Structure 1
């Protein structure tokens, strides 16, 4: 087991904590975090200045193809255990009302909202953390059963924004105010504003907002009049057809793809689906930057895994032809195509 040394500052313990994650040393990570608490570091700082940035680094290492999915999952599990140990060590008692924290339906990145839940708990709220991928109907059923002061919803991937909007509206019909957070709403919260919902950039801001019910409810209406053209709904209906066509085109034009393993084919189909889903989300919120930012991220991920940029470009060409009668989608897709690195086309 790694023997981790700490300083009375999360920044000073950061390198040692990452070493524990890299070594899959759960006990060393917990000992390091508890050592900070014993040295007088507030629990909230341990969570936000140690665990949160370490988890961000874990994600970056996966994106750079330095860590496998298994290593990323192991590190995430350890950080979840650290969060539980920190809160159990402090053992806060609720003095305020109930706040329900959950991930959007289809959203599996549960550690960031877990950190928000525990910060709220440390600040005296009675917190119910529902975890990853909560269906809207189940969330509403829970709200009908338990009186909640507010709901905090997390979304890490912008492609889930249409589902997020449905969950937000379902909570409002139950007369429970909502605050949202996570990269899925944009680093500046611009897509939260488009959906007409209160947004917090981090856990302390979420806690402050939840404490101010007037500010929590005083949000401008959603700006989604463009959905009247039905283009988003039509695009979603054609999702399967688009993916099948793009895969057939890729197999025809890239001979090496015909020898892909089952796992490689599954990953390819997943990537083709992500392109359609992010495109649909960009059409939903009427913001092409959602798609172009995704394209830049996708290229970084795939190129780091040995996929040539030329192969990445092919689905964009196929979708461009297939969606030529979808003016908003075609415009967004063209901008995404232009964001690809220049190759010999």
Structure 2
């Protein structure tokens, strides 16, 4: 049998390798494409990246467990390392530091960006997942970096992202950001005053363009003066406790939850508050609406009805009725939830 010569041809077999947790076979597929003449960048972007996106979708649809997702992600990381070792490009440009935002653990996408930059001649330092801002700044001061590329997969990390961006900027190092956390069109990166790249090739082109790298508009965060964001963050613990008590009152079955079920419920309530806070930070209710749609999809695939989420949104709306932007975001979230569930707001 002839080995696949394109990423599209190899993709189904590569996914099977991830599903079977067959690390060596997955590496063989990637290296086979390199031997067939496919550039290393295309192997990373047309094989590894879409396959990893499918891994995340299978977890979201409850087709794969967390353990299966972790195993597949580890294999993808090993494949990236094998492709990088096979290519062995020689650096011709300056140093670019690539890192995840503090609290951000999705390290594979920025690793792909780091390898594409390396393939294009940059001297790349990849710092990995969840890099504290102070540690990153200390590293930047010690090394003469041309630019720093920061990744954020979850919008909930945007307030932390802004502080990290500002810390890098104060060190006089240009910043490029990317990842789903900044919105599909980069709208929240622009709100934070950061240069945004939608993918690895775009990041490489932006970093190579000295003028574009430094042409960044100021952050647009005047709305934070209303103190709604800060107040919500301060009340986070009390809000979660009150929402949990409300659920126990309205849904008696929750009183018999196991410790694991209770932990999961508290975590979900925390996510609701945190995404609501992120929406306030960038003043965009669509951030929260998108999250509600995602959460409902995850929970319903696991047997939790959308009505349970709606109960919590209604509770928060009542408790936070004196916060206009919060009420607006919650109303938008409820409308999206109820429309998807075929109901109307009560």
Scaled by the length of structure 1, what TM-score is found? 0.97
Equivalenced residue count is 342
State the match for 1:137 in structure 2.
134
5+ residue gaps, structure 2, are none
* Aligned pairs for 1:1-345 within 5 A: 6-340=3-337, 341-343=341-343
Q: Distance in 1 between matches of 2:2 and 2:182?
A: 37
Query: Deviation of residue 176 (structure 1)?
Result: 0.3
Query: Deviation of residue 127 (structure 1)?
Result: 0.6
Deviation per CA, 1:242-282: give whole Å up to 9, x if none.
01111111122112212222111111111101101111111
Deviation per CA, 1:134-174: give whole Å up to 9, x if none.
11111111111111000000000001101000000000000
Query: Deviation of residue 114 (structure 1)?
Result: 0.4
Give the alignment's Cα RMSD to 1 decimal.
Answer: 1.2
CA contact (8 A) 1:63 1:301 kept: yes
Q: Distance in 1 between matches of 2:309 and 2:238?
A: 19
Return closer, same or farther for 1:145/1:5 CA change in 2, 3 Å cut-off.
farther
Query: Deviation of residue 337 (structure 1)?
Result: 1.2
Q: Distance in 1 between matches of 2:146 and 2:320?
A: 44
CA contact (8 A) 1:310 1:343 kept: no
Query: Deviation of residue 343 (structure 1)?
Result: 4.2
Secondary structure of residue in 2 paired with 1:12? helix
Query: Deviation of residue 98 (structure 1)?
Result: 0.6
Query: Deviation of residue 342 (structure 1)?
Result: 3.7
Query: Deviation of residue 177 (structure 1)?
Result: 0.3
Deviation per CA, 1:76-105: give whole Å up to 9, x if none.
000000000000011112111110001111
Q: Distance in 2 between matches of 1:6 and 1:48?
A: 19
Q: Distance in 2 between matches of 1:206 and 1:58?
A: 24
Q: Distance in 2 between matches of 1:205 and 1:78?
A: 26
Secondary structure of residue in 1 paired with 2:44? helix
Q: Distance in 2 between matches of 1:26 and 1:5?
A: 21
Query: Deviation of residue 5 (structure 1)?
Result: 7.0
Deviation per CA, 1:203-262: give whole Å up to 9, x if none.
000000000121011011111111111111111001111011111111221122122221
Secondary structure of residue in 2 paired with 1:339? helix
Q: Distance in 1 between matches of 2:3 and 2:177?
A: 34
Deviation per CA, 1:285-336: give whole Å up to 9, x if none.
0011111011111111100000011112111011011111111111111111
Following superposition, which runs of at least 4 residues in structure 1 exceed 6 angstroms of deviation? none
